[in-house]
């Protein structure tokens, strides 16, 4: 089965850039989606198809994907960005099996 690996936690000072990685075998050949989840809330899509942003998501959120690593970058980090972040892909022989990453807790110092 396909596995997505994320670092458990990332700490960043306000105003700096947070980079959250998602590792998977040849993940660069897949479309990666990223979700933000704050405590007690449902996940919210922040980046889809590697680097596109849904309407209403700040430009500070950006994504990239190459080889075996996808990355979600949050520039000019704010206190409100503190949350868990999950990557997600579709995998399997027909690309109809959904896989979530293990999740990364972003702490704003």
Partner 1 sequence: QPQLQESGPGLVKPSETLSLTCTVSGGSISGSSYYWGWIRQPPGKGLEWIGTVFHGGSTYYNPSLKSRVSISVDTSKNQFSLKLTSLTAADTSIYYCARGQIIVGPSAMNYWGQGTLVIVSS
Binding site for partner 1 (CB under 8 A): 1, 31, 33, 35, 37, 42-45, 48-49, 54, 84, 86, 88, 90, 92, 95-103
Closest to 101 in 3D by CA, of 5, 34, 1: 5
Minimum Å distance from CB 1 to partner 1? 7
Closer CB to partner 1, 42 or 79, in the complex: 42
Q: Are 99 and 91 in contact (CB under 8 A)?
A: yes
Minimum Å distance from CB 13 to partner 1? 26
Measured in whole angstroms, how far is the alpha carbon of residue 17 from the centre of its chain? 14
**DSSP helix/strand/coil, 81:** helix
Closer CB to partner 1, 16 or 99, in the complex: 99
Minimum Å distance from CB 88 to partner 1? 7
Minimum Å distance from CB 15 to partner 1? 28
Cβ-based burial of 19 (10 A; exposed 0-12, middle 13-18, buried ≥19): middle
């Amino acid at each position: 089965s396909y596995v997505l690996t994320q670092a458990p936690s990332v700490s960043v000072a306000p105003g700096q850039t947070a980079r959250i990685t998602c590792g998977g075998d040849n993940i660069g050949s897949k479309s990666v989606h990223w979700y933000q989840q704050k405590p007690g809330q449902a996940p919210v899509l922040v980046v889809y198809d590697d680097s596109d942003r849904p309407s209403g998501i700040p430009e500070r959120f950006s994504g990239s994907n190459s080889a075996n690593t996808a990355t979600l970058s949050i520039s000019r980090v704010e206190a409100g960005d503190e949350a868990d972040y999950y990557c997600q892909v579709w995998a399997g022989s027909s690309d109809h099996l959904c896989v979530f990453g293990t999740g990364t807790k972003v702490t704003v110092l």
